[in-house]
Amino acid sequence: MSSKKNRNKQKEDYKEYRRQQEEKQKRLNRRLMWITGAVVVAIVALAIIFRPQPSPVEFAYDQLPVLGDPNAPVKIVEFGDYKCPACKAFSEQIKPQLVQDYIDKGLVSFYFMNLAFIGKDSFTAAYAAQSVFHQNNDAFWKYYDALFKNQGNEYIEWATPDFLVDLAKKEGLEIDFNKLQSDIESSTYASEVDEHIAKARSSGVSSTPTVFVNGVKIDNPFDYNALKAEIDKALNAEA
């Protein structure tokens, strides 16, 4: 009996030993999992912090319509379509604030590039605006505002050659209206508009308006506080 009791006790002792070992292994596994998780989180955080930032997009600023001092330390480029309702909102809500806070103070210069895509007359309007620009940079910005102010339904072809020339006349633009008419009908600046569109695509632009600050694309151009923060950061970097 004594021998049997001893064997039973040995079995119980062995079971307890195995239980304790399993508990130790579980604790060790949990610790390893926690350490592994922490390491993974740290690696991801470091990768985000130290990941290479995309290089700023380079623009041929001297070939674009410019509002403000071309030598301003910060340059903003807008890609837009004259038939785009969101671009109309940007021109009426955001651009005036930029003019007041930065452009009129010589801190920022503002540029426009065409991303015509909504309709056939998106291109017609772009050809007209480029014609105005090549005749008179200041007249371009008056025309830019007028085009968006008089924007028609995006689903209807409203930016016809006659409409575009008549609008320029109503605005009293200091340009040759016959040349404007000829440039529109001959698509004189089609290659320039195509180059703008190609630049937009190569720069990761897929919607309008899209805005770049010193070559860096802005996530939401309608968040004026965030836009100001990016401009101020760029100004500080140039200081």
Convert the pLDDT of each residue in 145-186 to its tens digit.
999 999 999 999 999 999 999 999 999 999 999 999 999 999
Query: Is pLDDT of 39 > 70?
Result: no
pLDDT given for residue 114 in this prediction = 98
Q: pLDDT band for position 51 (50/70/90)? A: very low
108, 69 contact by CB (below 8 A)? no
68, 111 contact by CB (below 8 A)? no
The dihedral region occupied by 94, where left means phi > 0, alpha psi between -120 and 50, and beta the remainder, is alpha
Mean predicted confidence (pLDDT) in 73-81: 98
Bond from prior residue into 209 cis (ω within 30 degrees of 0): yes
The CATH number of domain 61-238 is 3.90.420.10: no
In one-letter notation, the amino acid at residue 148 is F
Mean predicted confidence (pLDDT) in 32-61: 65
Residue 127 CA to residue 114 CA, distance in Å, equals 9
pLDDT given for residue 5 in this prediction = 63
pLDDT single digits (tens) 109-132? 999 999 999 999 999 999 999 999
* Backbone torsions φ then ψ of 178, nearest 5 degrees: -65, -40
Beta 74-80 vs 66-67: how paired, if at all? unpaired
Residue 237 CA to residue 163 CA, distance in Å, equals 44
pLDDT given for residue 15 in this prediction = 67
pLDDT given for residue 43 in this prediction = 56
Query: Is pLDDT of 73 > 60?
Result: yes
pTM: 0.79
Residue 231 CA to residue 237 CA, distance in Å, equals 10
Angle at 86 between CA 68 and CA 65, to 5 degrees: 25
42: burial class by Cβ within 10 Å (0-12, 13-18, 19+)?
exposed
